[in-house]
């Protein structure tokens, strides 16, 4: 390998490592804040935060790798122009076209890694995330917290608090519950409680030796009931069957489906997911090559505008891929066309920009020769 190729490959990989590490740290920081917020609100268990963060990071790696490679090539080319290093290479008989080989030497392994992630690792990670959340949802409301903590369910309509049991064998000690329904506001106290599973799958919090106080807000009605045993349903199955929950489950299901199963299904949604998984490694290659002419700037004119344009081009590329996926999923765009259309457009843009950069322009006011 020539000195030029070795130096270019080394610098691209060095920049890519720095950018990848930075983006990954930012991603993990944002993700952990979101997951810890869900854990604090009772949406997930604190014991699964680390697992969910790990699997979510696997699903984000393809995009992070693509962006890291694009920025690494862009910064390498831009630095060579800014520090007049390209003048040395051009004087040695090299041109901008000679950057394609070293860039592909870096981009092809990265694209292969992205393909493995999108086709195999990411669906597996989505399945693990779904299993984590389903296992947590299947747990009873009271088992999602430890003794001594308040828990809200059904958007605050039910609030439970349980103390540690006094007698061995009991699940919970003194319990206080506040229930709100359309007519009554109820406060229930009991000396002990336990979870009971019914044959039909319903789960109840069974309270023993307690009192129930019912008040109708805004009206002078009050009820007091003493009981030996009292059951409160813990799960609200209707909430899990809302249209929003059904759509979220369907989206997660299609992302978690193995690639081979998507080919077997042969539906619009399956084809849109196949297109997305194939598009990311192709986009990584295209963006890496596109960064060569985008980074070829005049150092005297500054670089802020060119870097901004490069970022907008990359953002437009990824958004068009997402748009194509939505059109394929809705049946508005054929898979045979949508799978390559966006990539062909940006590959043509790269070829056009390279041609403009390589084209020798005649002088505007040539000096006449006598």
Tell me the per-residue pLDDT of 252-297, one tens digit each, with 9 for 90 and over: 688 999 999 999 988 999 999 999 999 999 999 999 999 999 988 7
Does residue 37 lie in a domain region?
yes
What Rg, from alpha-carbon coordinates, does the chain have? 30
Alpha helices in 83-220 (DSSP H): 85-91, 100-116, 122-138
pTM: 0.75
Tell me the per-residue pLDDT of 293-346, one tens digit each, with 9 for 90 and over: 998 876 665 556 667 888 899 999 999 999 999 999 999 999 999 999 999 999
At which of 234, 259, 286 does a domain end? 234
Does one domain contain both 230 and 353? no
3-state secondary structure of 224: strand
Does one domain contain both 120 and 269? yes
Does residue 369 lie in a domain region?
no
Can you read off the two tokens belonging to residue 332? 């508005």
Does one domain contain both 157 and 24? no
Q: How confident is the model at residue 89 (pLDDT cuts 50, 70, 90)?
A: confident
Q: Which residues contact residue 140 at a Cβ distance below 8 angstroms, ignoring those fewer than 6 apart? A: 195, 203, 205, 234, 235
Does one domain contain both 251 and 343? yes
Does residue 368 lie in a domain region?
no
Range in 135-144, 164-173, 200-209, 316-325 with the lowest mean pLDDT: 135-144
- Domain carrying residue 157: 144-234
Does one domain contain both 27 and 110? yes
Does residue 129 lie in a domain region?
yes
Confidence at residue 4, expressed as pLDDT on a 0 to 100 scale: 84
- In this structure, what are the phi and psi dihedrals at residue 208, rounded to the nearest 5 degrees? -125, 140
3-state secondary structure of 183: coil
> Which whole number is the average pLDDT over 3-7?
86
């Amino acid at each position: 390998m020539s000195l030029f190729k070795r130096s270019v490959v080394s610098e691209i990989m060095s920049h890519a490592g720095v950018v990848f590490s930075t983006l990954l740290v930012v991603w993990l920081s944002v993700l952990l804040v979101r997951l810890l917020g869900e854990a604090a609100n009772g949406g997930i268990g604190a014991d699964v935060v680390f697992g969910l963060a790990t699997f979510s990071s696997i699903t984000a790696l393809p995009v992070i790798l693509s962006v890291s490679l694009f920025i690494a090539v862009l910064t390498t080319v831009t630095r060579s122009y800014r520090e007049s290093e390209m003048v040395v290479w051009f004087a040695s008989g090299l041109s901008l076209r000679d950057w394609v080989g070293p860039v592909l030497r870096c981009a092809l392994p990265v694209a292969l890694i992205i393909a493995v992630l999108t086709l195999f690792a990411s669906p597996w990670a989505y399945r693990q995330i779904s299993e984590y959340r389903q296992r947590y949802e299947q747990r009873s409301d009271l088992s999602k917290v430890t003794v001594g903590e308040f828990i809200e369910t059904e958007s605050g309509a039910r609030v439970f608090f349980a103390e540690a049991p006094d007698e061995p064998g009991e699940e919970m000690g003194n319990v206080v519950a506040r229930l709100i329904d359309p007519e009554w506001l109820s406060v229930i106290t009991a000396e002990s409680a336990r979870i009971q599973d019914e044959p039909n799958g319903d789960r109840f919090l069974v309270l023993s030796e307690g009192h129930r106080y019912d008040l109708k807000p805004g009206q002078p009605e009050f009820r007091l009931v003493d009981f030996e045993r009292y059951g409160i349903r813990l799960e609200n199955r209707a909430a899990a069957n809302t249209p929003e929950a059904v759509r979220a489950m369907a989206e997660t299901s299609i992302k978690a489906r193995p690639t081979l199963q998507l080919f077997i299904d042969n539906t619009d949604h399956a084809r849109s997911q196949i297109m997305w998984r194939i598009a990311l490694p192709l986009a990584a290659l295209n963006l890496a090559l596109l960064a060569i002419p985008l980074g070829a700037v005049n150092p005297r004119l500054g670089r802020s505008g060119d870097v901004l344009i490069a970022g907008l081009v990359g953002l437009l590329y990824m958004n068009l891929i997402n748009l194509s996926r939505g059109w394929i999923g809705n049946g508005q765009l054929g898979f045979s066309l949508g799978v390559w259309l966006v990539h062909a457009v940006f590959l043509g843009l790269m070829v056009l920009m390279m041609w403009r950069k390589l084209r020798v322009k005649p002088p505007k006011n040539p000096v006449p020769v006598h």
